Structure 1
């Protein structure tokens, strides 16, 4: 069976997008992982499957490179908005609203959640900060912006071995759904960020990671809103106020389209 796909990226965080709104496609962890394989498949950080929705313009399902299905992806949402023109997108993490604004795309995620059982954590504890540490990373802030994140603020981002520490933090039993790991450095009124994504590893950019980090920094009065968050792949502008949804603005790039035999 031949299926058309689109290859897109948001600041280097890359996606294979399959549109199954008119022709249903059964997706499972094995197929998603094979398509995401950079040597034997198309290659991507996340595979995106578009399906019909009863409550929005479309439904977006997100599969990490290891085949695990997750709730939300900010960079992918910007790409889907640019590709399809959808304004309201249903995800497992909530409905996301998007709009193309000139050369960039702005999306509005869900209102951030901070309670231990909303992250979720395995048992009750403080989340701002979490009273835990892994080597030289300690007392992170826990934020759910449609998917779960830890945010560590450090003095020098370049001194942190996030690729070495990330797997152990991601799979710590404290996080029953695993966790995305963000390490950030505040530089004046801006933020530098690296993210180790659950199921995908170290990525060039993470949209929800940028949102979670900005929210944690604004709550801690380290920066004011809006704030520019710069990752290895580029920058996003994040805005948030308590009690409101978090918004994110940045690029979305269409690379190519093709067909693949499933």
Structure 2
């Protein structure tokens, strides 16, 4: 299923995009797309049955904002340097264990919302990423099979980063990762049954129409199942938590000087095969 949330920011309603790309209203069945829903097999079955029966009301998509496809996000855990080609372009050694940092849930915006360049920023960068959405509590998992059983679905994430804040200002990476609007998510949450192999997805990103990133999740150093298993030994993952699993080569940081960092007025487009496409215009904060 392709689950999404539509409407004004803070007042989104749950919806579904059916097999004919018709937008359907889910608000009579559920109050939101969130962790509570993702762990409720009965409600998910009811949605599937209603979608198959064609009984869900049609929503007029014209002029309707698409919000992030997941509400009430618990936490966002991010994996850095998780693609062989990205590690190579930045000159970093391949990590022996996943590099972990956090983003606050309030960085999440819709897939077509404005992204703000922080005040004082000169190195705002792009990163297309596969987001993993947790649907079952995960703690001390023992196998990749257990890990994938905890995944509710997948989405496109844009892990916007400010490299000077991240690398040059001391402390941890979090300073360059948590500026407002720095995690567009969506347009859809695609349930795991529609993504049989998360290591066979192409990722692409364009800036002002120029292709900058063109990668595949097959190049991940730590695949999705290992990332979920690994994290479960350091923190408990709950339904509604999100994991951003890293970005392939092609970020501005990896370009020769002068690096083409983002500026107000730039347009970024990104997509992951089967998970949808985002577009954001940048503006000054």
Q: Could you say whether these structures have the same fold, taking a TM-score greater than 0.5 normalized by the shorter chain as the test?
A: no
Q: Which structure features the higher share of strand residues?
A: 1
User: Which structure has more RCO (C-alpha within 8 Å, separation ≥ 6)?
Assistant: 2
TM-score when scaled to structure 2? 0.29
**Rg bigger for which structure?**
2
